[in-house]
Structure 1
Amino acid sequence: MGKLKLSKTTVERLQPVEGVQAIYWDKDITGFGVRVSPGGSRSFFYQGRLNGRAKKITIGKLGRITAETARKEAKRIASMLELGQDPTRKKEGKAAGSTFGDLLEAYVELLEQQGKVSAKAVSNAISKDIETAFPKLWKKPANTITLDDCMDIVGSLKDDGKPRQADKVRSYIRTAFSEAINARGDVNMPASMRKLGITSNPARDMRKVKGSSNAKDRALSLAEFRAYWKHVQGLPEPKRSLALLHVLTGGQRQQQLARVTLADIDRDAPSLTIWDRKGRRAKPRRHVVPLLPEALEAIDKITGGGEYVFSCDGGLSPVHMAYFNDQTKGICAAMQEAGELEGEPFTAGAIRATIETRLIAKPYSVSSDVLAHLLSHGMGGIQQRHYQHHDFFDEKLDALQKLHGMLTQPRGKVTAIRGRKRA
């Protein structure tokens, strides 16, 4: 792509690229550019030379500064470099006084550098729940932040009846300090993180917020699950095929499903590939999910001229998590009205928990090892990385066949489907 004028409208229209930071250059100001992370955040920077040596300077993120402000700052930086002056010297001289806000913004930058799609959500939460809610703490030197300061932030969210969000923010603060400590000896970390000079973690001893994961503890009974499946069958397209595909792929994480493209579908050995980026892994792990014939039919019904599989506009854009959640909420309400709900209302995340709970129980008795591979959790250990090379494809296929039989055959009878083609 050629150079663009990085105005507010142009920058907002730039699309993220899966797995990498995309860089766009301004056509008028040489050296002025913007980085677009896989998660969608946009950071302005200037790249030039000071006394013959390359120098790259971060200006700020769109939202915290405007595109017009970034352009003015780029011109100022360019002028200083031309005069042989270092625009960052004063800032670096105050490294010991880096603020709590500097630390949290550096943590977001680290997530973006690692290609984490969660970076945008983390940035939004930090901005809303810390910067806006606690402006004095945001400006406080990072190395003077105490456990009590952290408790004020997290406790406020918990007291407002938001235990899940409170625990997320607790995790962000704790991890930000931990990464800053590690960055002191890691040249691979962003410069913004290495220069913070953090030596202790005041949030280290903060306990997990009770009630933060209650929604995920809900698993539908077999009767409820079959009722859910019945309601899915009655949905209009593309809702029906999207919900059906979510179940028949084993209840994979919604954010990961949203990133699946047609290029990730293998029709010869029917399967879809998910590039699992969760956790602290620097590179995504390849996660292959077998596809039943019914799943392939659903894919054919919802795909079109675009690239995305889990889409409600023919593949032009991926569905948002809110789409899945609203759809599940509607089915849950219909089940409650029909007297089919045996327990508390449930969320989309409960479908994943239900699939694992029902498959591990008799008469299906799918092993926890197979379920771990099917649902892609707990796969980062030494044994998995270095010693276990079996891909569990046929075992995962068998589990999905049992899942389909559970929903369509009252007695749980499973009809065998041949495995994948082998070379």
Structure 2
Amino acid sequence: MSSWTDKTIQKAIRDAKAEGADIWLTDADKARGVGRLRLRASAKNRATFYFRYTTPKGVQAQISLGIYDSDGKAGLALKDATAKAALLSRLYQDGHRDLHTYLAQQKANEDESIAAKVRAQEEAERQATFGDLLLAYADMLKAADKASERAVRSQLKKDVEVAFPHLWKKPAKQITIDDCVEVVGKLNDEGKPRQADKIRSYIKSAYRAAINARGNVKAPKVMRELGITSNPARDIDKVKGSSEASERALSLAEFRAYWKRIQALEEPHRSVAMLHVLTGGQRMQQLARVTLADIDRDSMLMRMVDGKGKRERPRVYWVPLLPEALPCIDRLTLTGQYVFSSNGGVSPMGENFLSAIAKDVCSAMTEAKELQGEPFTGKVVRATIETRLMKKPYRVSSDVLARLLSHGLGGVQAKSYAHDPMHEEMLEALEKLWRLLNEEAEPLAEVIQLYARA
């Protein structure tokens, strides 16, 4: 405890003001070698506390403790200054004889600690978000030349970024199974089980890809740096009702009515729908990738790329072209390179362009009482082509249809069309399809119910 009192200090302040000169008070009630509490009362009507000590070089030095304030509100009360001086005295006696250097280092360490915390906080704020992960997954699909990339990216933005902006910005490592269920559940509750299961699959696949990327130097850098170690969507069940396959296939009369109606459509709908049929009902995502560079007019072949599934490299296969297909291609590529396009070839058709055409034609057929069964979609056209070609009188083998429609072929892959042993058989199948569509109409046939292969 200092030997001063507040009265002592206030008197010194009055005396300094009266004399017009500083007055120093030193706490003498201390042993030698422990430092001293000092106070300077200035002529400006205030006082400042100091701690005085002797440096290792024998020089007296002082550390400012703060301005005196009897209440301790605008500065240091006497008891507070005494406590500070006692702390410095203990440090001094413990061997920190150069207190200025020691305190400066302590301040630097404290500043660095604070800075480190700030950096950690900033780093946490910069953590890869759920949105970063999902977009990186879409970028990975694009780099792998997957036909599904555009559709995946579009749904991720619509059903996650737009629908759940708070989750989109949430760190990917903090996403929980409940967060994933919230996204999937919204679509299911809206009566969209197929879309719900797709988003479930995309989220699950994105996390799985990021986990696998950590140990794969060939994986995209952005995926490796996400640092993902667990998959919150791993245990979400497949959405019930999401994969109920359509068993609808058009009757011969319905199919011919469809073919007749699409030939009467306005461009580009007419040529897109006709070319879809003339090439065997290929998958819409794969058709959207076809450009003029994929058309071999000399050999009458169209190059297709099948990137579905888990294969690292898309499978390349070739579809024979009937002569009637070339005018459609020419009409669709007046100003650009994309064959299946709604704007002259400048960009590929949208994911639902063909489906929308089929829906409109189906509505017209319904009004004209040309339908014998339920309304149909673009996928039913594909299923119908396969179904009709398998039936009498054409009897196209399942092997040929599998090659033509790029069903699961496993390791049986043609390296190029020149080495494809089924090229002639596929061409023959398409010629049968042409005859089926353009021969004299037969009596209405019974509606065929068959599993529609995707």
> Given the two structures, how large is their TM-score scaled by the length of structure 1?
0.67
User: What is the aligned partner in structure 2 of residue 166 from structure 1?
Assistant: 196
Alignment map for 1:387-406 (pairs within 5 Å): 390-406=420-436
Aligned to 1:340: 370
1: CA distance between counterparts of 2:189 and 2:262?
A: 37
Instruction: Provide Cα deviations, 1:79-133, integer angstroms capped at 9, x if missing partner.
Output: xxxxxxxxxx969965996443333233223223324353343233223322333
Post-superposition Cα deviations, 1:44-91, rounded to whole Å, max 9, x if no partner, equal xxxxxxxxxxxxxxxxxxxxxxxxxxxxxxxxxxxxxxxxxxxxx969
Q: Which residue of 2 aligns with 1:61?
A: none
Q: Residue 152 of structure 2 corresponds to which residue in structure 1?
A: 122
Residues 252-331 of structure 1 correspond to what in structure 2 (within 5 A)? 252-331=282-361
Q: Which runs of 5+ in 1 are unaligned?
A: 1-88, 413-423
8 Å Cα contact 1:95-1:197 kept in structure 2:
no
Q: CA–CA distance in 1 between the matches of 2:329 and 2:150?
A: 28
How far does residue 312 in structure 1 lie from its aligned partner after superposition?
Answer: 4.8
**Structure 2 matches for 1:119-268, cutoff 5 A?**
119-214=149-244, 217-268=247-298
CA distance in 1, matches of 2:270, 2:128: 51
Distance in 2, Cα, partners of 1:314 & 1:129: 30
Cα 1:318–1:108 shift into 2, 3 Å: closer
Please give the alpha-carbon distance, in whole angstroms, between the structure 1 residues aligned to 2:295 and 2:324. 14
Range 268-277 or range 334-343, more displaced: 268-277
The more displaced of 108-117 and 217-226 is 108-117
CA contact (8 A) 1:224 1:342 kept: yes
Contact 2:211–2:228 at 8 Å: present in 1 too?
yes
Contact 2:290 2:339 (C-alpha < 8 Å) held by counterparts? yes
> For residue 439 of structure 2, what is the aligned residue in structure 1?
409
Matched, 1:382 2:430: no
SS for the counterpart of 1:211 is coil
The one-letter code matched in structure 2 to 1:382 is: G
Conserved? CA contact 2:390–2:398, under 8 Å: yes
The answer (yes or no) to whether the contact 1:95–1:195 under 8 Å persists in 2 is: no
In structure 2, relative to structure 1, the CA distance for the partners of 1:109 and 1:375 (3 Å cut) is same
Q: Who is 1:43 aligned against?
A: none
Aligned residues: 322
Give the partner amino acid of 1:324.
L
Match runs of 1:355-366 below 5 Å:
355-366=385-396
In our comparison, the structure showing a higher alpha carbon Rg is: 2
Whole-Å Cα distance in 2 between the matches of residues 382 and 95 of structure 1? 46
Q: Give the Cα–Cα distance (whole angstroms) in 2 for the partners of residues 145 and 312 of structure 1.
A: 39
3-state DSSP of counterpart to 2:383:
helix
Q: Which amino acid aligns with 2:387?
A: T
Does structure 1 conserve the Cα–Cα contact (< 8 Å) formed by 2:148 and 2:285? no
Q: What's the counterpart of residue 102 of structure 1?
A: 132
Question: What 5-or-longer segments of structure 2 have no aligned partner?
Answer: 1-118, 443-454
Provide the C-alpha distance between the structure 2 equivalents of 1:138 and 1:343, rounded to a whole number of angstroms: 43
Identity %: 60
Q: Distance in 2 between matches of 1:399 and 1:295?
A: 15
Q: Could you tell me which residue of structure 2 aligns to residue 9 of structure 1?
A: none
**Cα distance in 2 for residues equivalent to 1:140 and 1:314:** 41
- Distance in 1, matches of 2:343 and 2:159, equals 33
* 2:317–2:414 contact (8 Å) kept in structure 1: no
Query: Does the 8 Å CA contact 1:96/1:196 hold for their aligned counterparts?
Result: no
Give the alignment's Cα RMSD to 1 decimal: 3.1
Partner SS state of residue 359, structure 2:
helix
Match of 1:81 in 2: none
Q: 1:134 to 1:312 in 2, by over 3 A?
A: closer
Q: Which range moves more in the overlay, 346-355 or 329-338?
A: 346-355
Structure 1 residues 273 and 384: alpha-carbon distance in aligned structure 2, compared to 1, 3 A threshold: closer
1:32 match:
none
Distance 1:204 1:371 in 2: 35
Partners of 1:126 and 1:376 in 2: CA distance = 27
Aligned 8 A contact 2:288 2:338 in 1: yes
